[in-house]
Amino acid sequence: MAIETAANPTASERMAYRAAAELHNGDVVFVGIGLPNLACNLARATHAPGLYMIYESGAVGAIPDRLPVSIGDPSLVTDSLSVVSQADIFQCFLQGGRIEVGFLGGAQVDRWGNINTTVVGSWEDPKVRLPGSGGACEIATHAKRLLIIMRMGKRSFVEKCDYITSPGHRHPDGRTRQDMRLPGAGPSRIITDYGVLEFDETGEAVLTEVYEGVTPEQVQAVCGWPLRVADNVRTAVSPSVEVLTLLREKLDPQRLYLK
Amino acid sequence: MIHVSAPTAGVSKLRSMQEAIADAVRDGDTIAIDGFTHLICFAAAHEIIRQRRRNLTAVRLTPDLVYDQLIEADCVSTLVFSWAGNPGVGSLHALRRRSEQGSEQRIALEEYSHFGLVCRFMAAANGLPFWPLDNYRGVDIPRYNDQIRSVTCPYTGRELATVPALHPDVAIIHCQRADVEGNAQVWGLMGSQKEIAFASKKVIVVAEEIVPTEVIRRDPNRTIVPGIIVSHVVHEPWGCHPSYVQGYYDRDNDFYVKWDAISRTPETYADYLNEFVYGVKDRSEYLRKMGSGLLDRLRARSRMCEGVDYGY
């Protein structure tokens, strides 16, 4: 069995660590299920103890003392600042413009940051029926800034999403967020298992950062569209032994998210 | 004005789960068992399965295992939903077997995002024909759901999405405690329970504890559903397992993980339903099959709040 050391963090550990770096102390973040949940709790345990976590289940200002298995975990309620109905979460908090950071994953993403979490294939007769939107559509519409966290592959980073569940910077028909009067600013980063993509002024994803040992050619090989690459691609900082120990032993000892 | 005595109708609505479901739920009804991760009343769903209700339109933001079981048991013809997965684990396999390429049987799907479906209850609860929301631009959700339409704001000229009122025939609301008239008190995550209760024609309140009305009156801010809109009250301790009740018992996360393998094939799914749903006559028999070790492990550690002063 391979021994996990600081020298070889897993892809999920790199993603959680890199995503956590995007969260600042005091940010009001709408926390989604899966890796976003882990990244937010990692940020809170390290550089952003004042991260203000809101869950679509209604927990506001949550400080869970265990890693929530679901976004409706009872530990989100205990010691939170407020617990509200879903009507309040989606209307007062999200539609009312109180959320600074949204955080989503997905099955497919295109170069504009449109996300599909609904179906692979057609909606009427899908190859795979995925869970659907949940709160994703309204989070991508209203959050002031959006982080996307996804593993790369030609089937997930696609020329065209089979279905658009959540809006990115530009609809495939050419309309921009401004044209569509979407209130939030849209995706700011896609954090992947190879590196990080940012968005240029036209709303297209550009590779700006890779993990140690990864080349832009390797990233292109797992991307379904001709990928734009920044002039100076940075190398992402690797998580320290302390961070990896925290992730593995304290935050996710059951390996719920660190698969 | 001086009340000589507290106004109560004094009529108990207390019924067994079997009586309440038999009386309230009809074939072809639209039902909503609410609760978001928290307070999902599996006991009611299991009774609906045992009574073999058919052609239900089942409405929930997150169908969860509870509606997947109704689907596998052939109770559901239409699912109205916004996120259909096993939270933190994966798929709902009964639903996938009835909605993907090559599926022999299909159920009809009506799909929203969470916000859109909550707004359908908001419209109904508030006595309006529709509800506006600033959503659904640049996405495919309205392309495949003609109930999502739009309206032009008469003040700003902005175009807003709309969804129509949804009035379930029956709402099932699980709560920590209620009196026999159905004044229901909830703490922890509230889902859309209040909106769904007010939207529905009949409301079954299911409570972990039945308490004297005096207990309700001592903390009226905690009452989420008033008894005047409630048709049936059921006392069903542990009625949510494997879901949870804040202050009473934790979510059985191990069960949700194990469920993936149980539900993956029709054979293992049938074995489960035969043993734990059809094979028991009520919730107390189900609980006896759980074994005391599990219930002891899930029972909540107490965490009391300080209370508030309602004096004047």
- Are A77 and B246 in contact (CB < 8 Å)? yes
Residues A202 and A161 in one domain: yes
Nearest by CB to B118, which of A72, A90, A133?
A: A90
pTM of the entire predicted model: 0.95
Nearest to B80 by CA among B147, B20, B35: B147
- Residue A68: predicted pLDDT: 87
Facing A132 at nearest CB: one of B84, B88, B115: B84
Return d(Cα B201, Cα A178) in angstroms, integer: 42
Cβ atoms A168, A208 nearer than 8 A? no
Confidence of residue A32 (pLDDT cuts 50, 70, 90): confident
The chain A residue lying nearest B107, using CA atoms, is A124
In this prediction, residue A7 carries a pLDDT of 59
Query: What pLDDT sits at residue B23?
Result: 98
Helices (H), chain B: 17-24, 42-50, 64-72, 93-97, 114-125, 193-199, 213-218, 253-263, 266-273, 283-290, 292-298
Catalytic residues of A: 56
The answer to whether A134 contacts chain B (CB < 8 Å) is yes
Same-domain check for residues A128 and A207? yes
Q: Which long-range contacts (CB under 8 A, 24 or more apart) does B134-137 make?
A: B134/A95, B134/A141, B134/A142, B134/A183, B134/B158, B134/B160, B134/B161, B135/A95, B135/A137, B135/A138, B135/A141, B135/B161, B136/A137, B136/B161, B137/A141, B137/A167, B137/A180, B137/A181, B137/A182, B137/B161
Q: What is the pLDDT of residues B129-156, one digit of tens each?
A: 999 999 999 999 999 999 999 999 999 9
> What's the confidence (pLDDT) of residue B1?
46
Indicate whether A131 and A200 sit together in one domain.
yes
Domain harbouring A172, CATH code: 3.40.1080.10
Query: What's the confidence (pLDDT) of residue A256?
Result: 79
Tens-digit pLDDT profile for residues A134-167: 999 999 999 999 999 999 999 999 999 999 999 9
User: What value does the mean pLDDT take over residues B245-250?
Assistant: 98
Clarify whether residues A124 and A188 are in a common domain: yes
Average the pLDDT over A54-73 and give the result.
92
Residues A28 and A72 in one domain: yes
Same domain, A215 and A245: no
B166-189: average pLDDT: 98
Interface contact flag, A72 B136, Cβ < 8 Å: no
State whether A64 and A120 are in the same domain.
no
Domain that holds residue A200: 104-234
Least confident interval from A30-39, B43-52, B303-312: A30-39
Domain check: are A82 and A109 in the same one?
no
Count CB neighbours of A224 within 10 A. Answer: 18
- What is the pLDDT, as a whole number, of residue B39? 98
Write out chain A residues lying below 8 Å of B96, CB-based. 128-129
3-class SS of residue B235 = strand
Task: Specify the amino acid at residue A175.
Answer: R
Check pLDDT > 90 for residue B3.
Answer: no
Residue A125 structure tokens: 């007769």
Q: What are phi and psi of A126, to 5 degrees?
A: -75, 150
Q: What residue in A sits closest to B109 (Cα-Cα)?
A: A124
Please name the fold of domain B14-129+165-298: Glutaconate Coenzyme A-transferase (3.40.1080)
The phi, psi pair for B159, rounded to 5°, reads -90, 130
pLDDT value of residue A2: 44
Is the same domain home to A85 and A124? no
A57 shares a domain with A94: yes
At A2-16, the pLDDT tens digits run: 445 555 899 999 999
Compute the average pLDDT of residues B70-77.
98
State the smallest CA–CA distance between residue A243 and chain B in angstroms.
Answer: 23
A165-216 per-position pLDDT tens digit:
999 999 999 999 999 999 999 999 999 999 999 999 999 999 999 999 999 9
At B31, phi and psi to the nearest 5? -120, 150
Residue B5 Cα, gap to closest chain A Cα (Å): 33
Instruction: Indicate the pLDDT class of residue A1, thresholds 50, 70 and 90.
Output: very low
Q: Which residue of A has its CA nearest to B86?
A: A131
pLDDT in tens, A69-78: 888 999 999 9
pLDDT of residue A257: 80
Contacts of A90 in chain B (CB under 8 A): 114-115, 118
pLDDT attached to residue B9: 55
Taking an 8 Å cut-off on Cβ atoms, the answer to whether A59 and B189 are in contact is yes
Q: Which of residues 187-226 of A touch B (CB under 8 A)?
A: none
- Buried/exposed code over B125-156 (b: 16+ C-beta within 10 A; e: otherwise): beeeebbbbbbbbbbbbbebbebbeeeeeeee
Is B240 buried (19+), middle (13-18) or exposed (0-12) by CB count in 10 A? Answer: buried
A153 touches chain B (CB under 8 A): no
- Helix extents (H) in A105-145: 136-142
CA B6 to CA B56: how far, in whole Å? 40
- A75 and A196 belong to one structural domain: no
Do the Cβ atoms of B83 and A256 come within 8 Å? no
Residue-wise pLDDT tens digits, B210-239: 999 999 999 999 999 999 999 999 999 999
* Contacts of B101 by beta carbon, 8 Å cutoff, 6+ apart: A121, A125, A126, A127
Burial call A48-63: b when 16+ CB within 10 Å, e when fewer: beebbbbbbbbbbebb
Interface with chain B: mutation pick from A85, A139, A161, highest number of B CBs within 10 Å: A85
- Angle of helix B17-24 relative to helix B42-50, nearest 10 degrees? 70
C-alpha triplet A199, A202, A203: angle, nearest 5°: 40
Mean pLDDT of A115-143: 97
The answer to whether residues B143 and B175 touch, using CB atoms and an 8 Å cutoff, is no
pLDDT in tens, A208-249: 999 999 999 999 999 999 999 999 999 999 999 999 999 999
Count of domains forming chain A: 2
Burial B79-113 (b: 16+ CB within 10 A, else e): bbbbbbbbbbbbbbbbbbbbbbeeeeeebebbbbb
Which residues 33-92 of chain A have a CB within 8 Å of chain B? 33-34, 56-59, 69-74, 76-78, 83-87, 90
Q: Is the pLDDT of residue B204 over 60?
A: yes
Q: Which residues of chain A does B111 touch, with a Cβ-Cβ cutoff of 8 Å?
A: 118, 132-133
Residue A35 host element (H or E): helix A35-45
A247 and A227 in a common domain:
no
